[in-house]
């Protein structure tokens, strides 16, 4: 059985890593004014930050369309794949997952067996989704079925630990996730909130105070070092919108623990960056069962 794995570009998994595991990511739309761009194709997080600075507002984003999914699924079927496996951005944050389901339903109506499609609502974003994808790819590459990969995704979902610390409240404010009063107070007090994925949605968690570098160390201690024995050693993602050299230093700190089998550093794409802004860092892990 040949399984084709699909996702969307909010998974923040590099094109090279996706290609290595035959994972296809369909791009969300990012609108810079009237210009329609495709996330991960012709727009970067840096372009988005420049736009937000110049226009004092965030670009708009839009889900992957039903026709885009249907075309991609059809092409995989025509290429000889037996099963489709998809997971992507949380259904609480986008209609992308629902559109994937509608595309499946359209193909089933044309006579394809519904059992060939395995669609999972990740209830995640960014490298939380990437954790699921890489585990699924390992199962498929070892000869497992899409059904087995789907089962692993659903069992792993409750154990995902996805969170970020942001440098500025400006992007949360422009995106309507932070009131003007909270934005003003937070800026004056130099607060750096932790944003957690909870029940499929982005919710504010602990607030760290002080310079960003200091807050990153506090965040790492709280969410990695203090609970290291409860984290699966298989893999950790360091996903960020920091300067690359700073991100590599953070990777070296994690390497010094001699705990994780794999440490993956990824830059957040334009869609995810539109929610968190520059200077964001996340340590994304899976907790032990």
What pLDDT was estimated at residue 190? 66
Backbone angles phi, psi at 92, to 5 degrees: -75, -20
Residue 276 near residue 241, CB atoms below 8 Å: yes
Cα separation, 80 vs 101, whole angstroms: 21
What pLDDT was estimated at residue 189? 42
Residue 267 near residue 44, CB atoms below 8 Å: no
Q: Strand order of the sheet with strand 35-38?
A: 35-38, 29-32, 60-62
Hey, what domains does the chain have and what are their CATH numbers? 3-28+63-158 (3.40.50.10440), 162-286 (3.30.1180.10)
- Distances in Å between the Cα of 209 and the Cα atoms of 170, 173, 191, 214, 215 are 16, 18, 5, 8, 7
SS3 assignment, position 33: coil
What pLDDT was estimated at residue 201? 84
Residues 6+ apart with CB under 8 A from 284: 126, 127, 128, 130, 131, 160, 161, 162, 163, 236, 237, 238, 239
What pLDDT was estimated at residue 162? 96
What pLDDT was estimated at residue 102? 98
- Beta strands in the chain, from DSSP E residues, in sequence order: 3-8, 23-26, 29-32, 35-38, 60-62, 83-89, 117-124, 160-161, 163-165, 191-198, 201-209, 236-240, 263-267, 281-286
Cα separation, 183 vs 190, whole angstroms: 10
Beta-strand pair 163-165/29-32: unpaired
Question: What parts of the chain have a pLDDT lower than 70?
Answer: 169-190
What pLDDT was estimated at residue 172? 57
What pLDDT was estimated at residue 185? 37
What pLDDT was estimated at residue 169? 61
- Distances in Å between the Cα of 286 and the Cα atoms of 77, 130, 227, 275 are 32, 11, 11, 23
What pLDDT was estimated at residue 205? 80
């Amino acid at each position: 059985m040949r399984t084709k794995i699909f996702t969307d570009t909010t998974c923040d998994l590099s094109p090279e890593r996706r290609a290595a595991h035959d994972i296809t990511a369909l791009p969300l739309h990012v609108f810079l004014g009237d210009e329609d761009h495709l996330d991960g194709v012709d727009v970067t997080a840096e372009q988005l930050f420049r736009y937000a600075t110049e226009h004092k507002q965030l670009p708009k984003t839009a889900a992957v369309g039903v026709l885009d999914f249907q075309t991609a699924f059809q092409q995989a079927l025509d290429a000889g794949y037996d099963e489709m496996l998809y997971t992507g951005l949380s259904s609480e944050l986008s209609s992308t997952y629902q559109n994937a389901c509608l595309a499946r339903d359209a193909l089933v109506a044309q006579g394809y067996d519904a059992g060939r499609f395995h669609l999972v609502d990740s209830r995640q974003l960014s490298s939380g989704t990437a954790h699921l994808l890489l585990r699924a790819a390992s199962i498929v590459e070892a000869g497992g079925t899409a059904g087995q990969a789907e089962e692993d995704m659903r069992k792993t979902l409750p154990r995902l630990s996805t969170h970020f610390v942001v440098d500025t409240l400006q992007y949360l404010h422009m995106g309507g996730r932070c009131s003007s009063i909270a934005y003003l107070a937070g800026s004056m007090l130099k607060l750096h909130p932790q944003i957690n994925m909870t029940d499929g949605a982005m919710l504010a968690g602990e607030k760290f105070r002080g310079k960003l570098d200091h807050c990153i160390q506090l965040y790492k201690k709280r969410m990695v070092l203090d609970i290291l024995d409860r984290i699966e050693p298989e893999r950790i993602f360091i996903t960020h919108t920091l300067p690359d050299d700073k991100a590599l230093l953070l990777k070296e700190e994690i390497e010094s623990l001699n705990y994780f089998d794999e440490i993956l550093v990824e830059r957040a794409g334009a869609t995810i960056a539109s929610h968190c802004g520059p200077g964001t860092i996340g340590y994304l892990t899976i907790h032990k069962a």
